[in-house]
Amino acid sequence: FCLMAVPGKVAAFRLPPLPTVGEIIKLFRLKAQKQLSQNFLLDLRLTDKIVRQAGELKNAHVCEVGPGPGGITRSILSAGVEQLLLIEKDARFVPGLQMLSEAAPGKVCVVHGDILAYKMEKAFPKHLKKNWEDEPPDIHIIGNLPFSVSTPLIIKWLENVSKKDGPFIYGRTQLTLTFQKEVAERLTANPGGKQRSRLSIMSQHLCTVENCFVIPGQAFVPKPKVDVAVVHFTPLVQPKIQQPFKLVEKVVRSVFQFRRKYCFRGIETLFPESGRLKRTEQLMMTADVDPTLRPFQLSMSHFRNLCNTYRKMCDEDPSLFAYSYREELRQRKKTRNLLKSTSQPKQTEEENQL
């Protein structure tokens, strides 16, 4: 359900000044909830700077995720957007956002809902669609994300990029989002870097990822224990690994499962115990990957080769992709516990006979 103020005869487009923290709390009885990992950014110079990273927004269509008290919202509106969709999960913020909607008649649509469940395919007008090979559409997603939601959300959107659905049904929609500084470093890390991780590969094989700037923790209310970074994503015309998202995710997750050990250790978890060593050697030889490299030392071409070779092996043995190393460990533990529990009473019986 979308709340939008109806445009009337307005002499000049003007936003109300941003209330102070005290005024916001007093007006709407708001408090950042720790369990929702909420942190508000109320400095307009910083919110303007975040919005500038998105690029030219004049006459653009923008979706802001988790606007909260509306600091970034005001900066987006000041950039001269055509339409602004606000998706806010916390009902406490809706009255304040509705106040902004009334200050910008016909421009702002407020949706009370969860971004993880929201159907982004219908968020924007159809005429904005562009071919994937063309320049990105005049559509932007911007958000100061709660820490608890940022990683699952970017993984969801990266899968959408891979499938060209969700917000990417319109073309190569750009994202400008905040993350914990450490997560931002993982997203943008190069091979050999300490922060190189699963997130680095999953994001960089599908997008150009730029770590724009860092916002110190003390700029937020309440102050988090970590600094925050603004990251900009532009989907690539061609992914660097041309395999299904779930396959790439499985290979990358397996490799980084033991990030401090040789990459051989993680790669072998792709295969069942029976024939594991032989198949692991086959995969690494065909993919031309040195088994003594650490996961963070592997380049994008290493991962491309691993994914392409693993795909061929899955095509030859369709049961291979469904195999789960963790499930095998769980089953083995279950069997051990079962044997232990069935042998226990017998032992007691023997002791009673003595």
Is 337 annotated as a binding-site member?
A: no
Q: Which run of H or of E encompasses 48?
A: helix 44-52
At 3 the pLDDT is: 66
At 9 the pLDDT is: 43
Helix (H, G, I), strand (E, B) or coil at 215: strand
Is 114 annotated as a binding-site member?
A: yes
HSE toward the beta carbon, residue 176, CA cutoff 13 A: 21
Is 39 annotated as a binding-site member?
A: yes
Is 206 annotated as a binding-site member?
A: no
Strands (E) in 89-130, as ranges, are: 108-112
HSE toward the beta carbon, residue 270, CA cutoff 13 A: 32
Phi, psi for residue 117 in degrees, rounded to 5: -110, -10
**By the 8 A CB rule, do 28 and 21 touch?**
no
**CATH class entry, domain 2-235:** alpha beta
In the chain, which residues have pLDDT < 50? 9-13, 21-22, 25, 34-37, 349-354
Is 308 annotated as a binding-site member?
A: no
Tokens representing 141 are 């997603």
Domain ranges of the chain: 2-235, 245-327
Same fold, 2-235 and 245-327: no
DSSP labels, 136-170:
PPSEEEEE---HHHHHHHHHHHHHHHHHT-GGGGG
Q: Which residues contact 336 (CB under 8 A, 6 or more apart)?
A: none
The answer to whether domain 245-327 has CATH 1.10.8.100 is yes
The angle at the Cα of 211, spanning 262 to 66, to the nearest 5 degrees, equals 110
